[in-house]
Amino acid sequence: MIKRIVTLTVLVPALLSTAVSAAEAHPAPRATADVVTLTYDASDAGQWAGPIEQAVQNWNNAVHNVRLEPTSTPGEADYVYEATSGWPQTTLGPIFPGGSGEVQLGQQAVDEGYDATRITAHETGHILGLPDDYSGPCSEIMSGHGPGTSCTNAKPDAAEAAQVDKNYADGATAMRRSHHHQIVIDVWTGRVLTGSR
């Protein structure tokens, strides 16, 4: 029994030292004290389920102050994804918990030859408060249709991720602000329409 205690006394500090070294090798994300969690409902998204999953993962990997998660209670999500036959359109955020954002994933953009995951990541960028920047390069997710159908990048660049982190940097304090939301209609052929609500 004494031999086992001595062995454990030697092993525990060694294991803790290894865990601390591993944690130091991978710095912690630069998150604020309160990470904002936004829930989404994709139950009406049909064939967009795979692109939604990938786009959400891309955003979650890129940002630190907000986390996107599927809702456990349909009808109570902060925003919804919906498959439509028209052009993609989205509520321009930033959306906060208790919000009412909507992403309409329009089939017309796919019919024009645009990548479904890029479309989804772009529209999710609007939910997170990013405007369109059609003159940007393919490396920018918010350049949308600007770079053409050959662009399939679905990951936000560092500047876009930094802006989203800034949008959610105040955590709970930012949630108390009232926001006037716009609906951004992304016509993925070069024309841009915007409406207010």
Model pLDDT for residues 128-179, shown as the tens digit of each residue: 999 999 999 999 999 999 999 999 999 999 999 999 999 999 775 555 454 5
Which residues carry out catalysis? 123
What pLDDT is recorded for position 175? Answer: 52
Q: Is the pLDDT of residue 184 over 60?
A: no
Query: Which residues neighbour 112 within 8 Å (Cβ) at sequence distance 6 or greater?
Result: 145, 149, 188, 189
What pLDDT is recorded for position 162? Answer: 97
| CA distances in angstroms from 162 to 31, 59, 65, 74, 175, listed in the order given | 11, 11, 10, 30, 18
The total number of residues written for the chain in this structure: 197
- Residue pair 141/154 in contact by the 8 Å Cβ criterion: yes
What pLDDT is recorded for position 99? Answer: 87
Q: Among the listed ranges 12-21, 58-67, 75-84, 136-145, which one has the minimum average pLDDT value?
A: 12-21
Rounded Cα distance between 191 and 76, Å, is 33
Mean of the pLDDT values across residues 46-66?
97
Q: Is the pLDDT of residue 107 over 60?
A: yes
Q: What is the DSSP letter of 47?
A: G
What pLDDT is recorded for position 173? Answer: 56
